[in-house]
């Protein structure tokens, strides 16, 4: 495969996740990732500054979709309804490639403390995107932060359910994520 073949970024992510799972994060080199993906090391560095960034490859896009969906919710939507709109926007953009990658990514993260830390930072960034969108809608700070955190938790729970099943479409992911948000809403109501 030529180094300019389309999909290099996606191939790099898949190759890295497979290598992280097979031989561990620390033992995997950029050269090995590039070779497995069928590209040169310089192509790797055109897409990623280092191998840690592979884990959060889609974070900017995901954060943007969550924030846009939250911001564009109907004006009368409450904080969790706005978060649900953000979750639906982000979830419906995912498809079979995300479904295929999810279990492999989960295994790679579970095997590496450094990747677990990156995954935690990714969650913080996603919550911050939704919290900021809610604040822009006039939601007070504590309520915006809580709704943003619940959104991330719902996304993680729904994504885990979706990735473990045979579902592969973004519509199916959206159903799982929105069901998880509803479960969390009910659980939080029972805390009073």
DSSP sequence for 144-189: HHHHHHHHHHHHHHHHHHHHHSS--SHHHHHHHHHHHHHHHHHHHH
Taken in order 44, 50, 55, 60, the sign of the CA dihedral is: negative
Question: Mean pLDDT across the stretch 56-82?
Answer: 92
| CA-based nearest residue to 155, from 79, 110, 73, 89 | 89
Inter-axis angle of helices 141-164 and 96-110, nearest 10: 100
Q: What pLDDT score was predicted for residue 9?
A: 87
Alpha carbon 115 to chain centroid, angstroms: 14
The closest alpha carbon to 73, from 134, 140, 149, belongs to 134
Among 160, 52, 57, 157, smallest CA distance to 115 is for: 52
Q: Tokens in use for 142? A: 């504590």
Q: Which CA distances in Å does 123 have to 25, 28, 128, 143, 175?
A: 20, 24, 9, 18, 20
Confidence class of residue 2 from pLDDT cuts 50, 70 and 90?
very low
Mean pLDDT of 147-155: 97
Residues 6+ apart with CB under 8 A from 126: 59, 62, 63, 66, 151, 152, 155
| pLDDT score recorded for residue 72 | 96
pLDDT band at residue 105 under the 50/70/90 scheme: confident
Q: What is the mean pLDDT of residues 176-191?
A: 94
Question: Is the whole-model pTM more than 0.85?
Answer: no
Give residue 3's pLDDT band: very low, low, confident or very high (50, 70, 90): very low
């Amino acid at each position: 495969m030529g180094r300019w073949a389309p999909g290099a970024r996606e191939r790099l992510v898949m190759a890295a996740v497979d290598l992280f799972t097979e031989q561990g994060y620390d033992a995997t080199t950029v050269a090995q990732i590039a070779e497995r993906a069928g590209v040169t090391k310089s192509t790797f560095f055109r897409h990623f500054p280092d191998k840690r960034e592979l884990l959060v490859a889609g974070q900017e896009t995901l954060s943007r979709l969550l924030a846009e969906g939250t911001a564009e919710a109907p004006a009368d939507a409450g904080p969790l309804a706005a978060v649900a709109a953000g979750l639906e926007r982000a979830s419906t953009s995912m498809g079979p490639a995300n479904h295929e990658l999810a279990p492999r990514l989960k295994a790679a993260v579970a095997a590496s403390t450094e990747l677990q830390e990156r995954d935690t930072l990714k969650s913080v960034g996603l919550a911050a995107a939704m919290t900021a969108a809610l604040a822009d809608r006039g939601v007070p700070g504590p309520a915006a932060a809580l709704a943003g955190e619940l959104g991330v938790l719902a996304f993680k729970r729904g994504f885990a359910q979706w990735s473990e099943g045979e579902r592969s479409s973004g519509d199916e992911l959206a159903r799982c994520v929105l069901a998880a948000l509803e479960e969390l809403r009910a659980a939080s109501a029972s805390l009073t």
